[in-house]
Amino acid sequence: MRSQKITFTGAQGDELVGYIDLPEQQPRTLALFAHCFTCSKNLKPVKNISRTLVDNDIGVFRFDFTGLGESEGDFSDTNFSSNVEDLVAAASFMEADYAEPEILIGHSLGGAAVLQAASKIVGSKAVATIGAPCDPVHVKKNFGANLDEIENKGEATVTLAGRDFTIKKQFLDDLEAASMDSTIRNLKRALMIFHSPVDQVVGIDNAAHIYKLAHHPKSFVSLDDADHLLVNEEDSIYVAEVLASWAGRYF
């Protein structure tokens, strides 16, 4: 596998950092990966999925959203919409320097983001979601007791996965404004939905809602006893192997 560090300009003008992972030979196609909320491109399951896809001759571009990981910017000034626009900026970079991504992959909130971004990435032909919420508003439950403070004071410090993040009211307002149902109905891309029936972070009902609204071709794969973050390596590798086989039908 060839892996190259990349920098490009994100939606808000900040320098974003990512990696393009490629097979030794010419890849069959390219995929763009959107990581989960407050995660990074270097989360082990993300790297496992990328490596396995590369083993199946699919190149992968994974990057840190604005204000996360190695990317520049203030996370508190970002929101769901800016994540979507970062994906569009990443796809534009790929098109200019490599080729436009034909597969969009999103984990958790990243799954909702790729559903939204698909129509703005003209060359995309397939979308795969992993443990994705059917509505980004789902993220609000992570803020728990801080919700009132965010609403009343305009912002609050929220601890997520052991790290502190400043969440502003504009973030909540932007989540509320996202129109996911119409986006899913009008996706016009092949769709693969991966979800665990025992996911304690994003319930399986979210996958059912997405599947019901989407038009064919659409597929669903149960991740059996996998947790939300796909901590067990075999779960993330399974996702990638199934995804690669499924994508072969379209490329």
Taking the CA of residue 183 as centre, how many other CA atoms within 13 Å lie in the half-sphere pointing to its CB? 20
Confidence at residue 77, expressed as pLDDT on a 0 to 100 scale: 95
3-state secondary structure the chain: CEEEEEEEECCCCCEEEEEEEECCCCCCEEEEEECCCCCCCCCHHHHHHHHHHHHCCEEEEEECCCCCCCCCCCHHHCCHHHHHHHHHHHHHHHHHHCCCCCEEEEECHHHHHHHHHHHHCCCCCEEEEECCCCCHHHHHHHHCCHHHHHHHHCEEEEEECCEEEEEEHHHHHHHHHCCHHHHHHCCCCEEEEEECCCCCCCCHHHHHHHHHHCCCCEEEEECCCCCCCCCCHHHHHHHHHHHHHHHCCCC
- For residue 66, pLDDT beyond 80: yes
Confidence at residue 20, expressed as pLDDT on a 0 to 100 scale: 98
Domain boundaries, the chain: 2-138+179-247
List the one residue out of 42, 55, 206 whose CA is nearest residue 131: 206
pTM assigned to the model: 0.96
Res. 28 pLDDT band, cuts 50 70 90: very high
Res. 251 pLDDT band, cuts 50 70 90: confident
pLDDT tens digits, residue range 150-167? 999 999 999 987 889 999
The predicted model gives 1-5 an average pLDDT of 96
- For residue 73, pLDDT beyond 80: yes
Return the residue matching tokens 């994003």. 202
Q: Homologous superfamily of 2-138+179-247 in CATH?
A: Alpha/Beta hydrolase fold, catalytic domain (3.40.50.1820)
Confidence at residue 167, expressed as pLDDT on a 0 to 100 scale: 96
CA angle 15, 19, 21 (to 5 degrees): 160
Burial (0-12, 13-18, 19+ Cβ within 10 Å), 25: exposed
The Cα–Cα gap between 200 and 149 comes to 25
CA 251 to chain CA centroid, nearest Å: 21
Per-chain mean pLDDT for the chain: 96
Res. 82 pLDDT band, cuts 50 70 90: very high
